[in-house]
Structure 1
Amino acid sequence: MMGFRKFSLKWNVLTMLILALFFALTHQSKALGIYKKLIYTSLTSDTTKPISRLLKDTTKLPSRKDTIPGKRDSIPAKRDTSLKKGIDTTLNRIDSLNQVTTDTFSLRLSKDTLDAPVNYEAEDSAVILAQEKKVILYGKTKTTYKDVTLTAPKVELNQATGEVTAFNDKDSLGQVLTRAKFAQGDNQFESDTISFNFKTQKGLTRNTFTKQDEMFVHGETIKKVNANTLFIKRGDFTTCNLDEPHFAFRTNKMKVVNNKVAITGPVHPEFEGVPVPIYLPFGFYPLSRGRHSGFLPPQFVTNEEFGLGLEGLGYYKVLNDYYDVTLRGNIYSYGGWSASLIPTYRVRYRFSGAMNLSLQSTKFNFKGDPDYSKFNTFMINWSHSVDSKARPGTSFSANVNAGSTRYNELLPNNALRNFQNQLSSSIAYSKSWAGKPYNLTLSANHNQNNATRLVNLILPDAGFTVNTLYPFQRKEAVGAPKWYEKLGIGYNGTARNQVSFYDTALSGKQLLDTLLAGASHRIPINLSLPSLGPLLVAPFVSYEEQWMMRQGTLKFDPVEQDIDTAFTKGFYTDRRMSFGVSLNTNIYGTYNFKNSKVKAIRHVIRPTFSFNYSPSFSGRYFDSLPYTDSSGIKHRIDYSKLAVGGNIYSGYSNVEFGGISFGFDNSLEMKLRPKKGSSDSTDRKVRLIDGFGFSSNYNFLADSLKLGDFNLYLRSTLFDKVNLTATANLTPYKTDSVGQRLNQYYFGDGHFQPGRFTAGSISLSTSFKSKPRDPDKAQETVNTGRPINDPMLLGDQQRLQEYMRRNPSEFVDFNIPWDISIDFAANFASVPLPNYTGFRTQFNATTSLRSSFSLTPKWNFTTNGYFNFQSMKVEAVSMSINRDMHCWQMSIGIQKGLYSSFSISINPKSSLLQDLRINRTRTFSNF
């Protein structure tokens, strides 16, 4: 027993000696290579109050950089139950997934601790001043804190104040090699020195360059008071992106609110560093992206007919995210004025549109002069469209262009509108029912001739259609369908009202006198039979009926030697039936070439024939007027009372038809072999003629004039460059001295003459463009969009053209060396004389030319011309010379026509300063 006690006492003494030795050796040992008293205690101490207690932790931590931010974790860590008297004797544990865990220790954070980590890196070196709580970085450094990024050659961080200071790098001569760069959100700065406080989000920079929207700003001192507001002392701003800008505006003080506005004190411009002694008391520059309200500055003009004037003065108001309105006005010293109200709206996936309400008061000469005149005119333009997905099965659209017939004529300095004699409008609504075979259309239409001042209104114009129904078709098809199951029947019905009037003599009585109403019904019955080899056979039956409200009777006035028309109102109906069968097929022909670039030419013929019979039910509406003129010559006019009555529908023919109708349609295309050495081995197809042919008929039951007129047509896009369209009407019969047809063919009497052309038209258009100087720049131009409030997106074609006319240099592509477009149109028709004593031929032909030549990469010459072959005069011609001056643009314009003018315009290219322009305009009229 005593031996056991001696043994136990000996081991107890040995254990105490070992513990004493262990404590003596580890009393001031280091953990993680950090000197706890000088560094750890200093960096975690409270700068506002003295340290009350330090926690000691002897836990062995992994030897790696701690990236856990010094703030309290929202998820509390599980405490170690083995902690006693502040000493943790627990060993680090490695979980089964072999993942390193970071031990969390309990400490009280300083009140001035940042709420996010500050990450920094340096290419050269980093110096830590523990006592001063500073870190100095050298080389290419990068410091990040939340959304703040700072890069500079040298950076100093002060942990005590939360401030970071960046410096630039200079060579031995004092020249700046690398500037400090600061970025926070959309704000970016380049400065000589940058001081920024992470806590207060305030900063101060010296000799700083920054960009706000399209504006480049330089300031000797810039103070950042919050994330979006800057105050600048002794600065300048410009839209030129060069290091030494061509122009700038200089001011001593300036405030910038990011993406909203820039406001300056007294400001003056300078060009190439040379100040211009023109001072403004303050400057206001919107920086808002997208739409924003504001005043629209005017343009000063001089006009010989209207005097001095201000054009384009107005205000733009954003009502909400979907609606806005623009008010513009022009005022002239001779008393003339005009005003426009332009509301626009756009609701995505629902509808969009724009309206332009314009009033114009034009005065020529002065009151009291014998040639004094005054005109009050107006114009309404409205465009509206509905997204097809907004209301499936329903569509609504509007395109309205209506107003006074002299409005376009009296517009100054606008040849395009001065010669626009035709205006038309359409408002349409359609409704279809899902799963139903019928649909409804409603529309209102308008057209007016500004030369004759005749206005026609058609409203409403209603249509109801029933798609083809197959009454004998089985509900459950089993096997091949029977022939009678393909018998289909449909319905088409229209009804409309029309009024006509002259705007110079508009009255309610005239509207009632010219009111016309009518309706048309058509019921087609078709049967599709199995093909007979290459032939497709389809029998058909059709019934048609028209309703009208007046008829006319011709009477000869021997005194005036004229023919008058007497109208009788009532309800009149006319109808027609036809029976027949149609046959059509396709005929293909190919010619192959052996040793040629052309591999083959293919010709397709599509003949159509129909045999039909149509009895006449309209004999009661036809009459004749025999009369003798003052020369003793006898005449006879056969006419339809319904057609002479001027109805919407003119009735049917009184000639019984039993014969054949025929037509031939053709197309021609060519196939080219690939070029030698080309990587593309596929053949290239070229359409030579899209369609050409003719159609006519022959009536076996007619007593004379059995062969009908020939209708000829041609459509072609030659080599994808020339668009050609031509039509003609050819009659095979001869005429007498007054133009009446005789029952004699032109191609008789032993010689061939196809006939006499009674009407025809041809239109030709082509354009040629050179390759761009820089293909990459051309692609960039294609991909660049315009802002939502750009005038080109307002939806009104006339306002788009007006904007292009006033700003031609904005639409000049200096990257294209040359561009030429040519349009030609001609038409003729043989029309009866007013007294029905003969015919006369009307002929019109016009051509227009547009060319653009970029003589150098910076100079462009553009011409537009309009020539009338009937008057053999150049109706209008305009020329412009445009100069690209990097951040500015210049345009010199000359126009000849009804209003001749000369103008010079110089303005910045940036949309931010596009209203800052220098103009000189002279206008002359040909009244």
Structure 2
Amino acid sequence: MYKRCKVNYKSVLFAALTLLLLYGLTVEGRSAFRVQDYFLQALTISGNESSAATATKKAAAVEGKTLRTKQQSINVLLNDTVPKTNDTLPVVDSLRKKDSLVTKVDTFDLKLSKDTIDAPVEFEAEDSMVLDIPNKQIYLYNKASVKFKDVSLDASVIRLDQPTQLLTAYSTKDSAGKRVGVPAFKQAESAFTSDTIRYNFKTQRGLTIGTYTQEGEMFIYGEKVKRISPTVFFAEKARFTVCNYDTPHFAFKAKKVKFISNNIAVTGSVRPEVENIPIPIGLPFGIFPMKQGRRTGLLPPQPVANDQLGFGLEGLGYYKTIGEYWDATIRANIYSYGSYNLFLSPQYRKRYRYSGGFNLSYMNNKIGFKGDPDYRPPSRNFSIQWNHALDGKARPGQTFSANVNVATSLFNRFFPSNAVQNFNNTLTSSIAYQRSWAGKPFNLTVSANHNQNTNTKLFNVNLPDVGFTMNTIYPFQKKEMVGAPKWYEKLGVAYNGTFKNQFSFYDTAFSLRQLIDTFQWGARHSVPIQLSLPQLGPLQVGPAISFDETWYAQEFFRKWNPATKKLDTIVNKGFYAARQMSFGLNFSTALFGTLNFKNKNSNVKALRHVVRPTLGLSYRPNMARDQWYTEQVDSTGRTYRFNKFDGSLYGGLAEGQSGFISFTLDNNLEMKVRDKKDTSESATKKVRLIDGFGLSTGYNMLADSFPLSDFNLYLRSNLFEKISLTAGANVTPYQLDKTTGFRKQLYTWQGGDKFSLGRFTSGFVSVSTQFKSKPKDEKKEKEKQEIEKNRRNNGTYDEQSRELNAIRRNPNEFVDFNIPWSLNLSYSLNFTRQLKRDYSGFETVLAQSINFNGDFNLTEKWKMQGSGTFDIQTRKLQYFTTSISRDLHCWQLSINVTPIGIYRSFSISINPKSALLRDLRINRSRFFYNLPQ
């Protein structure tokens, strides 16, 4: 049964109307509230952007809008404006209900403001920021900074005008009247400072007053500079210089200039000035290169004067870039009497692959005129140099290098402005390819070598030389070691093989027949076998066996010619072989001794002596008895023993059998001293007094004569890391014939002098040291050393050699005023008894000399330099040069005098230090060849 109730239709109608009213108020009110979000956002949206992206950007712009003072960042968007009352913002909001899903569509159609920019601007100021709202301007005070894209500007005061988007920056003066906060502008690689800067953000153009900028080594100033693009400028009343002073020592001035950054500057009429004094010379236009890196161009000459060659221009040339990896320099020296020199220097380099270069030189010298005392017939000389280096990363396990230096006999003697090269009589070359196999013990070397003596004019060429080695292998060693190895597992076998070719010729008598007659070849094979036995207490025992086989292409026989009273040499060509074996057993140990000093106040705490004796036993059978013969060598009937392979590439084998006992005694001496840099009582450090000294000799128990070998003495030391000492000598224990110098079958102590242990037959002593003061600026000296270290490690051989040659030719341009004084000294002594060419006896050749070079500061800006070689035997200066330099800040004054040597010269020059204007020099040079008659 249903219950019924009475319904009031008026109440139902009232409720429905109330719900409709609430629904209308809710939906319409929400739509109106959302419109306010868009109203508060900045109007910087392009018309083709989607509404979602636009809303995102506007929200980000609103969140990024912050103001800071007192070291706080001020981020303001220049075009953030409030719309006027008549601005309309059409908004379409609709809610459509389909299948209980609501889809919302927002669409914006905005008009851009005329002063809109496309990126935010960041501001910062240390003191304060002032907003001029009616005029729409912002002022930043004290260390103000503005950043816009890649543009940054720092100044004391910066003003931004939002309607014109014009930025103005200028400096102020402090209480002492000093200008502070000079405006500094930077965009990408362009940077400059100015008294006043005006810059438009929208057009990115600007105008500056009193502008300083730097392009490479060039400093540029302009009274007014107009910037029309990031790389193009126009300047009025500009100044160019390489002097970094505000008032430079010298400059080039022009009224109108166009700059293209890192490329070139072109001017109208230009004139130089020195110390603000105009020079009454000028040019109708000027071109100043500012492009970094390689560029083609002319190389200016240097005027010289010579009484034997006449007036000359040296260094006239041209530099040419050839592709990405090549360049070439050609220079010429031209003299008025008809001499000329040509130098061609191509260079190449490919990073991480290879680098190298050539130096091709040709000299046509005409010294003096016929009838003059210093006249020399015309001579033509040439030189070929090539260097190449392969980067180790290019081909792991393979290397290829070349260092070729070939020249005619008189080339070095006539080479100008290099006294060291004038005294060089030996030239060598080498081209080598090396290959090693990863994980295998094999190594291959193929090389071509050359050596020549410019005095004898003899060339020796080895082409090719092949070397193949197999490192020591252990055939009985297990692949996987378990436990202690057996004694036979330490048996090692190696192989060394070499193959040589050689031909010789004189440059004055070169012919194909001579090459064929002097051609030689040879090979040597060596198989060493060694065994490392367990240590016997303090002794280390090592047996060894060696087998050598040598192949020859010629044998030489000397025959006495009674008619000419000389030895004639007979050469037989063919294939000849010689073999040699040896067996050895070596014993070695080490003994240590320390002497401690008990005095606690002594700086020397202890002395330590280490002795390493080595005793060797060897046996070599006589397998070369058929190689030796006896022949008369002079008219008195005296004879000499010859080997038929003497004069070949490998030489002959030793004569007779030997049961040899060899003995070597090596020592070193150290001292323990108090470390003055460490204040603790126990702080000590080691000082090596003698790195090594000792002797070696031997006794042949199976020899028929002269069983005792010569004594070889040696000494190596670097005393206190200041004095480097190296010495060696050979002492024979036998008496010598006073007339001929041949040995006698008598010991020295068997004669009248019982205390004599031998006679010196050869020896050498070399002592060198260096003294220099502490640098004025330690930091600057460390930076210099680091730069030099990086140059040595990363520079190619060609770059290093060119730098050394540049220093050698112009030492005054590389003066270091940071070191007040320095002195390098070295002494060398060499003597040897050598067999005369006619086999009549021995003669002693003695040579000793002193080399010195040093410099010192006369004043803060004057430096004196000098170097030379003094021959003690002749008691004459063989070479001497001195120079004096004056540091003129951006200029260098140098006077160089070489009064002694083959090449004597005098020069005075003044030139800018900058490499950009180094060739802009004032020079006066005179030189003279002092050639022997």
Q: Are residue 507 (structure 1) and residue 519 (structure 2) matched?
A: no
> Structure 1 residues 232, 785: CA separation in 2 closer, same or farther (over 3 Å shift)?
farther
Partner of 1:725: 726
Q: SS of the counterpart of 1:634?
A: coil
Q: Aligned-pair distance for 1:118? A: 2.3
Q: Aligned-pair distance for 1:86? A: 7.2
2:848 & 2:337 partners in 1: Cα distance?
38
Q: Are residue 461 (structure 1) and residue 465 (structure 2) matched?
A: yes
Counterpart of 2:865, as a letter, is: T
Query: Mean alpha-carbon deviation: is it higher for 512-521 or for 210-219?
Result: 210-219
Contact 2:734 2:745 in 1 (8 A): yes
Q: SS of the counterpart of 1:335?
A: coil
2:816 & 2:372 partners in 1: Cα distance?
48
Q: Are residue 667 (structure 1) and residue 668 (structure 2) matched?
A: yes
Q: Are residue 387 (structure 1) and residue 391 (structure 2) matched?
A: yes
1:541 aligns with one of 535, 540, 545: 545
Q: Are residue 565 (structure 1) and residue 544 (structure 2) matched?
A: no
- Counterparts of 1:64-75 in structure 2, within 5 Å, are 65=65
1:336 aligns with one of 334, 339, 343: 339
Contact 1:71 1:115 in 2 (8 A): no
Q: Are residue 772 (structure 1) and residue 760 (structure 2) matched?
A: no
Counterpart of 2:679, as a letter, is: S
1:609 aligns with one of 598, 601, 615: 615
Contact 2:131 2:139 in 1 (8 A): yes
> Structure 1 residues 448, 626: CA separation in 2 closer, same or farther (over 3 Å shift)?
closer
Counterpart of 1:912, as a letter, is: L
2:898 aligns with one of 892, 895, 900: 895
Q: Aligned-pair distance for 1:681? A: 5.6
2:584 & 2:490 partners in 1: Cα distance?
17
**CA deviation profile, 1:81-124 (whole Å, cap 9, x unmatched):** xx9977999xxxxxxxxxxxxx9987333365211112334533
Counterpart of 1:667, as a letter, is: N
Between the aligned residues of both structures, percent identity stands at 48
Counterpart of 1:429, as a letter, is: Y
1:432 & 1:886 partners in 2: Cα distance?
54
Partner of 2:692: 691
Partner of 1:635: 638
Q: Are residue 598 (structure 1) and residue 604 (structure 2) matched?
A: yes
- Counterparts of 1:20-169 in structure 2, within 5 Å, are 65=65, 107-110=110-113, 113-122=116-125, 123-130=127-134, 134-137=137-140, 140-169=143-172
Contact 2:76 2:122 in 1 (8 A): no
Q: Aligned-pair distance for 1:153? A: 4.2
**CA deviation profile, 1:737-795 (whole Å, cap 9, x unmatched):** 32222110002247121212111122121111111122222223334479999998662
Question: In angstroms, what is the RMSD of aligned CA positions?
Answer: 3.7
Contact 1:549 1:569 in 2 (8 A): yes
Partner of 1:319: 322
Contact 1:792 1:800 in 2 (8 A): no
Partner of 1:97: none
Contact 2:632 2:638 in 1 (8 A): yes
> Structure 1 residues 557, 149: CA separation in 2 closer, same or farther (over 3 Å shift)?
same
Q: Aligned-pair distance for 1:346? A: 2.4
Q: SS of the counterpart of 2:281?
A: coil
Q: Aligned-pair distance for 1:513? A: 1.1
How does the TM-score come out when normalised to structure 2? 0.87
Contact 2:823 2:853 in 1 (8 A): yes
Contact 1:463 1:495 in 2 (8 A): yes
Q: SS of the counterpart of 2:366?
A: strand
1:653 & 1:199 partners in 2: Cα distance?
93
Partner of 2:406: 402
1:309 & 1:425 partners in 2: Cα distance?
33
Q: Aligned-pair distance for 1:535? A: 0.7
1:584 aligns with one of 572, 583, 588: 588
**CA deviation profile, 1:332-377 (whole Å, cap 9, x unmatched):** 1111111222122222222222221111111112479794511111
> Structure 1 residues 406, 791: CA separation in 2 closer, same or farther (over 3 Å shift)?
farther
Q: Aligned-pair distance for 1:2? A: 10
> Structure 1 residues 697, 179: CA separation in 2 closer, same or farther (over 3 Å shift)?
closer
Counterpart of 2:666, as a letter, is: D
Q: SS of the counterpart of 1:513?
A: helix
Counterpart of 1:741, as a letter, is: R
Q: Are residue 843 (structure 1) and residue 846 (structure 2) matched?
A: yes
Q: Aligned-pair distance for 1:451? A: 1.6
Counterpart of 1:699, as a letter, is: N
Counterpart of 1:285, as a letter, is: F
How does the TM-score come out when normalised to structure 1? 0.87
Q: Aligned-pair distance for 1:872? A: 2.1
- Counterparts of 1:475-514 in structure 2, within 5 Å, are 475-514=479-518
Partner of 2:748: 746
Contact 2:660 2:698 in 1 (8 A): yes
> Structure 1 residues 784, 886: CA separation in 2 closer, same or farther (over 3 Å shift)?
farther
> Structure 1 residues 258, 591: CA separation in 2 closer, same or farther (over 3 Å shift)?
same
Contact 2:634 2:840 in 1 (8 A): no
Counterpart of 1:654, as a letter, is: E
> Structure 1 residues 185, 874: CA separation in 2 closer, same or farther (over 3 Å shift)?
same
Q: SS of the counterpart of 1:906?
A: strand
Partner of 1:862: 865
**CA deviation profile, 1:870-894 (whole Å, cap 9, x unmatched):** 3321111111111111111111111
2:270 aligns with one of 242, 267, 284: 267
Q: Are residue 813 (structure 1) and residue 816 (structure 2) matched?
A: yes
Partner of 2:259: 256
Q: Unaligned 5+ residue runs, structure 2?
A: 1-7, 47-54, 67-74, 81-88, 96-105
**CA deviation profile, 1:215-235 (whole Å, cap 9, x unmatched):** 221111111121011111111
> Structure 1 residues 111, 634: CA separation in 2 closer, same or farther (over 3 Å shift)?
same
> Structure 1 residues 797, 336: CA separation in 2 closer, same or farther (over 3 Å shift)?
farther
Aligned length: 875
Partner of 1:206: 209
2:290 & 2:200 partners in 1: Cα distance?
26
Contact 1:489 1:524 in 2 (8 A): yes
Query: Mean alpha-carbon deviation: is it higher for 725-734 or for 669-678?
Result: 669-678
Q: Aligned-pair distance for 1:903? A: 0.8
Counterpart of 1:245, as a letter, is: P
Contact 1:808 1:891 in 2 (8 A): no
1:804 & 1:399 partners in 2: Cα distance?
21
**CA deviation profile, 1:146-165 (whole Å, cap 9, x unmatched):** 11122334444343443323
Q: SS of the counterpart of 1:409?
A: helix
> Structure 1 residues 44, 793: CA separation in 2 closer, same or farther (over 3 Å shift)?
closer
> Structure 1 residues 437, 355: CA separation in 2 closer, same or farther (over 3 Å shift)?
same
> Structure 1 residues 5, 616: CA separation in 2 closer, same or farther (over 3 Å shift)?
closer
Q: Aligned-pair distance for 1:299? A: 1.3
Q: Aligned-pair distance for 1:698? A: 0.7
1:792 & 1:405 partners in 2: Cα distance?
31
1:843 & 1:45 partners in 2: Cα distance?
94
Contact 1:833 1:839 in 2 (8 A): yes
> Structure 1 residues 789, 394: CA separation in 2 closer, same or farther (over 3 Å shift)?
closer
Q: Aligned-pair distance for 1:392? A: 1.5
**CA deviation profile, 1:687-722 (whole Å, cap 9, x unmatched):** 111111111211111111111111221111111111
Q: Aligned-pair distance for 1:520? A: 0.8
Contact 2:633 2:840 in 1 (8 A): no
Partner of 1:448: 452
Partner of 1:100: none
Partner of 2:227: 224
Contact 2:115 2:162 in 1 (8 A): no
Partner of 2:296: 293
Counterpart of 1:467, as a letter, is: N
Q: Unaligned 5+ residue runs, structure 1?
A: 47-54, 73-82, 90-102
> Structure 1 residues 641, 138: CA separation in 2 closer, same or farther (over 3 Å shift)?
closer
**CA deviation profile, 1:536-589 (whole Å, cap 9, x unmatched):** 111121111111122222222333332222222222211111112111111111
Q: Aligned-pair distance for 1:479? A: 2.5
1:727 & 1:430 partners in 2: Cα distance?
34
Q: Are residue 877 (structure 1) and residue 877 (structure 2) matched?
A: no
